């Protein structure tokens, strides 16, 4: 998989640089990234809209469902980014095959084990520091069930606090985006409708408000799914020295070209 023809410079980055890079990639490759995100998100967005139509379902229950959906919903985006990053041709049939092969592992670690650790409270730290890159480990590295926990531990070794901080930052920024986006678009709609514009006014109700809120939530999830992929790449660079290996390969190819 390693090659010197990568979409981005393979080097160490801070988390703010990773978020900035995620925005840059979304601008450089908007169509494949958007399509991959939509393919993963759309089925769950429809399911969520149906669930939200039932007033008996509380906001907390909805958030729990959303939490369970994230690993599978962001899986297509992760697979596509793996190909885009190294300049590989995106082959839908191969991506579908890889997704189906990794689906049982995603269900086990991302939908069963991770929520169970959170529910146990004392297991929450393990979920935070051991399982942030579940999707990437399962789909890109394709490790076996027995090797997964050890591989997740290797990626988290020595950076426990940093992983927790990054996830808290993602949650906070995501919430800010959802509030600003949904309320902002709602207020903009009110301008065209001739209504009053105020952050204190009552939000739009009904279908339109539901679309705004859920749309904002899924956009945030897609963006931070992209950022998570880049953070995973950054972690492997720091852990395994991808930058050095890629530079050595580049030098070797240049020398071969000179000899020819």
> Using one digit for the tens of pLDDT, what is the confidence trace for 35-86?
999 999 999 998 888 887 777 777 778 888 888 899 999 999 999 999 888 7
pLDDT of residue 208: 65
Query: CA 183 to CA 255: how far, in whole Å?
Result: 57
pTM value? Answer: 0.86
How far is the C-alpha of 77 from the C-alpha of 18, rounded, in Å?
16
Structure-model confidence comparison of residues 194 and 223, the more confident one: 223
> For all residues of the chain together, what is the average pLDDT?
84
Neighbours of 188 (CB within 10 A): 11
Using CA atoms, how far apart are residues 62 and 45, in angstroms rounded to an integer? 12
127 versus 104: which is more confidently predicted? 104
Q: Which residues contact 138 (CB under 8 A, 6 or more apart)?
A: 102, 105, 106, 109, 110, 148
């Amino acid at each position: 998989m390693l090659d010197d023809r990568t979409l981005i410079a393979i080097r160490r980055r801070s988390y703010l640089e990773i978020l900035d890079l995620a925005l840059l990639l979304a601008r450089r490759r908007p169509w494949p990234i958007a399509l991959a995100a939509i393919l993963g998100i759309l089925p769950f967005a429809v399911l969520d809209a149906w669930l939200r139509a039932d007033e008996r379902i509380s906001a907390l229950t909805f958030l729990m469902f959303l939490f369970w959906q994230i690993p599978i919903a962001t899986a297509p985006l992760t697979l596509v980014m793996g190909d885009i990053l190294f300049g590989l041709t995106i082959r839908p049939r191969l991506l579908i095959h890889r997704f189906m092969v990794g689906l049982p592992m995603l269900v086990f670690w991302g939908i069963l084990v991770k929520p169970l650790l959170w529910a146990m409270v004392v297991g929450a730290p393990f979920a935070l520091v051991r399982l942030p890159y579940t999707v990437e480990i399962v789909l890109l590295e394709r490790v076996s069930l027995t090797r997964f926990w050890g591989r997740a531990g290797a990626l988290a070794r020595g950076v426990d606090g940093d992983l927790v901080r990054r996830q808290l930052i993602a949650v906070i920024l995501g919430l800010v985006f959802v509030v600003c986006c949904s309320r902002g678009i709602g207020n903009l709609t009110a301008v065209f409708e001739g209504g009053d514009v105020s952050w204190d006014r009552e939000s739009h109700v009904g279908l339109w408000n539901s679309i705004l809120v859920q749309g904002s939530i899924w956009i945030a999830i897609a963006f931070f799914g992209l950022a998570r992929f880049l953070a995973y790449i950054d972690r492997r660079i720091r852990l395994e020295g991808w930058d050095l290996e890629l530079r050595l390969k580049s030098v070797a190819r240049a020398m071969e070209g000179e000899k020819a």
